Structure 1
Amino acid sequence: MKYVLRLLYGGGLLFAGVGHFRNEKGFVSIMPSFIPFKRFFVQVTGIIEVLYGLMLLTGKGVDIVRKTLPGFLYAVLPANVNMAVNPQPINGKKLPAWALWTRLPLQWVLIALAKRLK
């Protein structure tokens, strides 16, 4: 089961990380106004997610991911809150409010699961 969790998490992070570059404008638009250098942070978080995803999928560096991923997920939480409070279209599509608000408690589940990666 832990192997499956690691593969699912790795695939999800890799997919999300690539999304930062395929839809950079969308990710920039969800960032809170108080964060400077939005494009830079979107690119950095995209690189981190790609690296985490590859590490989990290959099984190399899983300990590093398990120790640092919760902090990363806390760091990106303001963008998720901002997206729920100030919804912006992504790729021209407006996400339903229920999905944006459901994402917030899901973040805590992802943090808890990150601590269990092996």
Structure 2
Amino acid sequence: MLKRVYGAFILFAGVMHFLKERNFRYIVPKFLPFRKAIVLVSGVAEIIIGGMLVLNKGTKLAGKLLGWLMIAVWPANMYMAYKEIPLGKIKLSPAVLWGRVAFQIPLIKWAFNISKNAELKN
């Protein structure tokens, strides 16, 4: 059940990559090329992975992919915190921004545990 909630959150985030693409582009470090493409590709990945978790299909693969995706986007959250970039029009305190960075650790662990638990059930 909780993996489906996590999946729904990831699916929603993926859709938001398209609806609010510019907001997501701001948190991609400026030294990276093709920032818009990075946002859109990560959005597609989140939609697919989130959908897999919500539908409870390919959970072992989805958990692994989500764990690696969360690691891949972690630098964007660090960049957002370091530069104190607002979340859309909402200015967050540095404590909240850095809290998001720290919260990524249990989210990564949870993603890999989803995969591990799916493996144990098979």
Q: Could you state the TM-score of these two structures normalised by the residue count of structure 1?
A: 0.91
Where in structure 2 are there 5+ consecutive unaligned residues? none
Query: Which of these residues, 54, 62, 66, is aligned with residue 63 of structure 2?
Result: 66
The structure that is helix-richer by fraction is: 2
Q: Contact 1:17–1:45 (CA<8 Å) still a contact in 2?
A: yes
CA distance in 1, matches of 2:23, 2:93: 16
Q: Contact 1:30–1:87 (CA<8 Å) still a contact in 2?
A: no
Give the percent of matched residue pairs that are identical in Structure 1 and Structure 2.
Answer: 39
Within the alignment, does 1:81 sit opposite 2:78 as a pair?
yes
Within the alignment, does 1:111 sit opposite 2:80 as a pair?
no
Query: Which of these residues, 27, 32, 35, is aligned with residue 35 of structure 1?
Result: 32
The total of aligned residue pairs comes to: 115
Task: Return the structure number with greater relative CO, CA threshold 8 A, min gap 6.
Answer: 1
* Root mean square deviation, CA, Å: 1.1
Instruction: Classify the secondary structure of the residue corresponding to 1:111.
Output: helix
Instruction: Classify the secondary structure of the residue corresponding to 2:113.
Output: coil
Where in structure 1 are there 5+ consecutive unaligned residues? none
1:15 maps to which residue? 12
Q: Could you state the TM-score of these two structures normalised by the residue count of structure 2?
A: 0.88
Shift of 1:93: 2.0
Q: After the TM superposition, which parts of structure 1 deviate over 4 Å for at least 4 consecutive aligned residues?
A: none
